[in-house]
Structure 1
Amino acid sequence: MLRWIVAVWLLWAERAAGQALRYSSYLDPERRFHLAWDYNATHIQLEYTAATRGWLALGISPNGGMNQSDVIFAWIDDTTGLPHVQDRWIDVGSSGVNPTLDDKQDWTLVSGKQNTTHSIVRVARLLTTCDPRDRPFTNDTMRIIFAANPRDPAGEAAMIEQHSMRGTKSVVFFTDAFLTERAASILGGGSLLQMDVRVDNVPIPTGIDTSYHCKLIKLPEVNKKYHIIGVRPLIQRGNEHIVHHVVVYYCDSTVNDTVTPKEFECAGDNVDEEAMMNIAVHCHSNVLAVWAIGGSDMYFPPEAGLPLTPEMSDRFVMVEIHYDLSMRTDQADVQDSSGMSFILTEQLRPNDAAVLSTGTMDFNFLITIPPNVDDFVVSSYCHTQCTSMFPADGINIFQSFLHAHTHGRKIILRHIRDGKELPPIGKDDAYDFNYQESRNVQPYRTILPGDTLKLECTFSTAGMSKPAYGGFSSHDEMCLAYLTYYPATPLASCGTNVNFTNYYTTINYTLPAEYSLTDYRSIQIATKDFLNSQMQWDTTSVQTLQGFYNGDTSSECVTIDLNRTAIPTPPLEYTPYDDPATRMCPNLTPNQPSQRLQAEPPRKPAPTAANSTQHSVASITTAGGNLVSVIVILLLCVCQRI
């Protein structure tokens, strides 16, 4: 069997050696390092280019650092022109960085060359080698480290001179996000239109770490049905480091021209609570599109598109932008005009698509993650009563977007049918807050009426002396998944609410008698003060709280017209999924990565036309010019924001 796999790989490698690889990305903003790749069911090829005539290195890291990294080390000999490739492993000890040669050299050289400024090597390897000093290629977010030096090493076993350039980048290898000809291959030919929805010169506040800005935007009038088949982020150039996410919601008919205000703060210290209660609640249940930091364009498969119909003419969408200001050092006046661009076609797909959100529905202290823990799990359910709204032959999920904040370490969306867990719909065991990419679900996953979805987020507060809480700030937490699917159904969201009374019983705290249950701010201050300064956080209290989140809860189904159904939900019993990947290397004792991941700072994408600042007018355009123009009005959503 092994000989057959090797033979097939050699044939694939030989045929692919001279071919362009399908996926590619620059690794650094200066574009000195570039990575291209391709893969089949068993192997991966990498083509690594660096602006050097000396050695170049590319590694898979557990956390963005060098320790415990699996490294490709290469150079092109300046005298002979021959390429050299080595499989190495880095241990950082008291004597410093030690990139030692692996006993088993698993990377195979395909080709290598250099010119007067750059070196390039192409190598190939099994996706999973079962070598304890090789990290497998998986669907998880993978931290890539890269480095170079202007000089070749003195020999195969010579001491390696320290790098002169280095960096780190998160990459998901098995996604269409990095297809070199992605837009052309997915959108195809035909006449395409573009509809931009964006805010207009929003002043970015200073002195706070989180701002949510909301604005209502009126849809253009159309006289026939279109399908949205692509969504592109429009992030204002220069603001890439503060725009954390953009969400666009479709509002119900109660949001009309008479509604005011059209623009307001929708979370944080400056939240307009009246606008949230009177306006945003009429939009938040129907998500059109989601983008978050690190993400790229999103395209729909040929089977489906989001509908834009004459009945939707003159209705409002709501744009929500989360500005993460926690790392901002300047206090200069900054404005923003970010948003999203929707690509439309009049060549209708067979099905209408929709977005289903699932996860925790409490964005407050009721989600409490104890201090100094590495693996605290918060779960939520999309109940069988919710999925019973699906048609008899189910819905087909083709894209998933998993979301947590800075304490998130792992996210998995489980799929359970008749008491048996099926393969996960979405899974990331190395979640990176600064790299949130929608991922294709291949093959499409069918969810039948009566199935259950269970979303689990694993959080780490290692080194913290106080708990983390649910909330909207990047330092608060969420646990959400957005699923794009077809055919569209009335179900907009499903998830779990924490039982208020049982929560206080679990933490053994009684609110002062004078507090009204409607006095949310006072309740939050008193509860957090108790948990931060009086609660005895030890193994017993942590396990008790973990048991609470694993125990009885309440699920909720929300339809696009805001009908809500609450369902008491006991712990779900099911047979766990037996992942064949866990049996591939039965004798392997893996090197354990650090639990506290080192998130790389947000990177500014290369300038594109889509990043340029534009005025706040939403429009549908073709290459020939405007078809329809509409004034941008704004609003944000009350709930289910990321």
Structure 2
Amino acid sequence: MQTWIILCLYISSTAIEICTGIASPLQPFTTYDHSIQLEANIAELWWTVNNAAQEITFELHMKTIGWIALGISPAGGMKGADIAVGWVDSSGKAHIQDRFAFDKQKPVMDNTTQDWFLLKGQEQNGWTAIQFKRYFDSCDPMDVPIKLGTNILIFAYGLDDIDPCQAKVDITYHDDRRGSRILPLRSYADQPADAMLAGLDFVDFRFDNHAVPSADTTYYCKVFKSPSRFLTKRHAIAHEVLIDSRNTNLLHHLDLFECSSKDVLDDANLPDGVCDDILTGMRMCSSNVATSWAIGADLTTVYPKEAGYAVTGVNNNKYFMIKIHYDNPRLTSNLRDSSGIRFYLGNELRQYDLSYLVFGTLSSPASLAIPPNTEQFIVDSYCPPEATRNFPASGINVVSALPHTHLQGISVWTKLIRNNTAVQYLFNAEAFDFNHQFANRLSTPIKIYPGDAFATRCIYSTRNKDDMTLGGKRTIDEMCSHTFSYYPMVESLTACMTAIDQTAWQTIMKTSLPIDNIKLEQWLRNLTWTPKSVAQWQEFYNEAQRFIMYDRGSYMDFNVLPTIPKYEDLQVEPCNRKEIQHSNDQLCHESNDSVACQNTLFLFAFIFFVFKIIFL
């Protein structure tokens, strides 16, 4: 019996599970950098990213002797999906096709170029395996680029074979034999094997069955002291977010902060409660980020081998504060939570201390005021060279990136600016998804030197809203932050955040009176929006004077920028991918009836042409 495989790669926004057990009886053709289980005992995927060649090599295993699918979509469904079709025939020969889905219907042949390149294939014990590769960007208008940030994988399979040389024997409907997962294909950090962390000492900072208020949004904080059983400095080599199984849908994000040594805390009465109620006078317990986790991300993070996070100190005087954002839109009462974080301690100190930097905007109406019914609204922030003046001359090494917005965010990036020229992206989450906020591991560390500056951009879409979206803590409010882990630790900067300066607001509001967030929000809520006023608002955001806050760890520093500085930007190279010789005639290169096969290809092309005339 012939076995067919459809390999459809879709980029969009659904969850992805980590491969915790391989069910496929087939051994992968080679060793890969990453692997996941798309569906338990059904579908498994391996892949390796080659940044130099700008391509990814995939290997898909699925439990079927019919066709199978794995693919890339711009929005998470069939519409606009870039689809590769492959199979292993009765002689054991593997084949592949390139298809495109105009809507929720059978995908048609891509009549431009063949951009899914077959490498190997096999079938055994009811499973089929196909190895293939794809460029990040094929330059084909009927393909979907594999972007940095989150990518949505959609997979499906059928029970029957297809035959490309017989038009009547084609892809059959998959019914419910389908699924979708989301992950950052180009910057994925695999979950560690259990053996890697087994037997290590660990430190837990977690809540103790505390009551969660029945409010739509709650930020709950609790301060912990590093355990007394560790009398010397110990480095964590990984951390794991511990989510109470009762509350998997309640936690939106978790932040852990290291309190400044200047904070005076009573060990017998450490702060514990709603953050707004306990943080007055405790700013130093909410500035130095020790780690962050957001909804949809993997639970375990392994640090680079060169660096560890110092969880304990020589005199055991380290304090940490957990801040958890609970999202409870149904206002459910009587909720209890014991979530937290676990640090796994290495047996030896590593060469460097790991730390974190945060760029973006403050979370207030003065920072973010996004008009409704807008396809794309851009908010820029800038961290000038002054921020990094005290960095070591040898520089620091950025190793991971965590972009963060709320529901309306669709893209987040930060560029490294050196000598008024954009050198590269620190990270470009072109495809950002609120429900899957991964800590993206950089393929190679990026150096930052004294005098470097940073430009951060968050892009929002509010097509689904009829009122303004303002900066704030609630899930329905917005944020714009980009958190980077790095080594070695510097104490001169933990965050560099901006807001529209008060003088700019006074000018546009035509007042000389002081403006607080309450007055500003009232004024903003009364605005009427038209396409013209949205364009004017974007211009205001592009040119407005900025207020900058530098968090120096032990103190705060401030500055004002008359406008976002102009810099020589990165050059956008036109897509001119050199075509590899994989043409449609390869689909039937070993067919016994080449004439009939070519006729079938012409039929596909004709059907596609007619489809465009009727439906487009």
So what's the TM-score if we normalise by structure 2? 0.81
Per-residue deviation, 1:81 = 6.0
Matched residues in 1 for 2:206 and 2:127: separation? 40
- Structure 2 residue 38 is matched with structure 1 residue 38: no
Taking a change above 3 Å as real, the CA distance of residues 229 and 378 of structure 1, as seen in their structure-2 partners, is same
| Aligned equivalent of 1:91 | 102
Q: Would you say the 8 A contact 1:148–1:163 is kept in 2? A: yes
Letter in 1 for 2:480: C
Residues 86-485 of structure 1 mapped to structure 2, 5 A cutoff: 86-92=97-103, 97-103=105-111, 104-114=113-123, 118-153=127-162, 157=167, 158-164=169-175, 165-178=177-190, 192-206=200-214, 208-221=215-228, 222-252=230-260, 253-257=262-266, 262-266=271-275, 271-272=276-277, 275-279=278-282, 281-296=283-298, 297-311=300-314, 313-326=316-329, 331=332, 333-364=334-365, 366-485=367-486
Taking a change above 3 Å as real, the CA distance of residues 528 and 569 of structure 1, as seen in their structure-2 partners, is closer
Q: Would you say the 8 A contact 1:83–1:112 is kept in 2? A: yes
Letter in 2 for 1:399: S
| Aligned equivalent of 2:588 | none
Q: What is the CA deviation profile of residues 178-217 of structure 1, one whole-angstrom value per residue up to 9, with x for unaligned ones? A: 36x6677xx699x8421111112133444x3322221111
Matched residues in 2 for 1:509 and 1:362: separation? 24
Letter in 2 for 1:407: Q
**Match for 1:571 among 564, 569, 573?**
564
Taking a change above 3 Å as real, the CA distance of residues 147 and 204 of structure 1, as seen in their structure-2 partners, is farther
Q: Would you say the 8 A contact 1:369–1:467 is kept in 2? A: yes
Q: Would you say the 8 A contact 1:285–1:558 is kept in 2? A: yes
Matched residues in 2 for 1:570 and 1:312: separation? 46
Matched residues in 2 for 1:213 and 1:312: separation? 28
| Aligned equivalent of 2:602 | none
SS in 2 for 1:550: helix
Taking a change above 3 Å as real, the CA distance of residues 197 and 556 of structure 1, as seen in their structure-2 partners, is same
Matched residues in 2 for 1:259 and 1:405: separation? 37
Letter in 2 for 1:210: T
Matched residues in 2 for 1:125 and 1:313: separation? 52
SS in 2 for 1:413: strand
Q: What is the CA deviation profile of residues 560-591 of structure 1, one whole-angstrom value per residue up to 9, with x for unaligned ones? A: 113333344532121111145x444499xxxx
Q: What is the CA deviation profile of residues 32-77 of structure 1, one whole-angstrom value per residue up to 9, with x for unaligned ones? A: 3322112333242222233433221111010112111111234555
Taking a change above 3 Å as real, the CA distance of residues 472 and 287 of structure 1, as seen in their structure-2 partners, is same
Letter in 2 for 1:378: V
Per-residue deviation, 1:459 = 0.7
SS in 1 for 2:132: strand
Taking a change above 3 Å as real, the CA distance of residues 116 and 444 of structure 1, as seen in their structure-2 partners, is closer
Matched residues in 2 for 1:466 and 1:18: separation? 53
| Aligned equivalent of 2:11 | none
Residues 428-577 of structure 1 mapped to structure 2, 5 A cutoff: 428-490=429-491, 491-506=493-508, 508=509, 524=518, 527-532=520-525, 534-551=526-543, 552-577=545-570
Letter in 1 for 2:309: L
Taking a change above 3 Å as real, the CA distance of residues 204 and 159 of structure 1, as seen in their structure-2 partners, is farther
Per-residue deviation, 1:453 = 0.7
Per-residue deviation, 1:322 = 1.3
Letter in 2 for 1:91: F
**Match for 1:71 among 71, 83, 91?**
83
Which range moved further: 478-487 or 497-506? Answer: 497-506
Matched residues in 2 for 1:573 and 1:527: separation? 28
Per-residue deviation, 1:89 = 0.6
Q: What is the CA deviation profile of residues 477-532 of structure 1, one whole-angstrom value per residue up to 9, with x for unaligned ones? A: 111111111221121211213212422432x3669x8xx86xx6xx52x5444433
Matched residues in 2 for 1:211 and 1:51: separation? 44
Q: Would you say the 8 A contact 1:53–1:76 is kept in 2? A: no
Per-residue deviation, 1:421 = 0.8
Matched residues in 2 for 1:504 and 1:541: separation? 18
- Structure 2 residue 8 is matched with structure 1 residue 18: no
Matched residues in 2 for 1:119 and 1:367: separation? 50
So what's the TM-score if we normalise by structure 1? 0.77
Per-residue deviation, 1:88 = 0.9
- Structure 2 residue 65 is matched with structure 1 residue 53: yes
Matched residues in 2 for 1:560 and 1:528: separation? 30
Taking a change above 3 Å as real, the CA distance of residues 539 and 203 of structure 1, as seen in their structure-2 partners, is same
Matched residues in 1 for 2:242 and 2:41: separation? 21
Matched residues in 1 for 2:352 and 2:496: separation? 22
SS in 2 for 1:277: coil
Q: Would you say the 8 A contact 2:158–2:173 is kept in 1? A: yes
Taking a change above 3 Å as real, the CA distance of residues 115 and 239 of structure 1, as seen in their structure-2 partners, is farther
Taking a change above 3 Å as real, the CA distance of residues 289 and 375 of structure 1, as seen in their structure-2 partners, is same
Matched residues in 1 for 2:556 and 2:115: separation? 56
SS in 2 for 1:341: strand
SS in 1 for 2:541: helix
* RCO higher in structure (CA 8 A, sep ≥6): 1
Matched residues in 1 for 2:333 and 2:501: separation? 44
Letter in 2 for 1:211: T
SS in 1 for 2:446: strand
Matched residues in 2 for 1:374 and 1:255: separation? 48
Taking a change above 3 Å as real, the CA distance of residues 18 and 59 of structure 1, as seen in their structure-2 partners, is closer
| Aligned equivalent of 1:631 | none
Q: What is the CA deviation profile of residues 238-268 of structure 1, one whole-angstrom value per residue up to 9, with x for unaligned ones? A: 43222221111011342412686722122xx
Q: Would you say the 8 A contact 1:414–1:453 is kept in 2? A: yes
Matched residues in 2 for 1:353 and 1:313: separation? 19
Matched residues in 1 for 2:313 and 2:576: separation? 53
Per-residue deviation, 1:370 = 0.7
Letter in 2 for 1:64: G
Q: Would you say the 8 A contact 1:364–1:469 is kept in 2? A: yes
Letter in 1 for 2:273: F
Q: What is the CA deviation profile of residues 215-239 of structure 1, one whole-angstrom value per residue up to 9, with x for unaligned ones? A: 1112112322222221222122243
Matched residues in 2 for 1:249 and 1:371: separation? 34
Matched residues in 2 for 1:250 and 1:69: separation? 45
Taking a change above 3 Å as real, the CA distance of residues 355 and 183 of structure 1, as seen in their structure-2 partners, is farther
Alignment RMSD: 2.9
Q: Would you say the 8 A contact 1:244–1:324 is kept in 2? A: yes
Q: Would you say the 8 A contact 2:233–2:314 is kept in 1? A: no
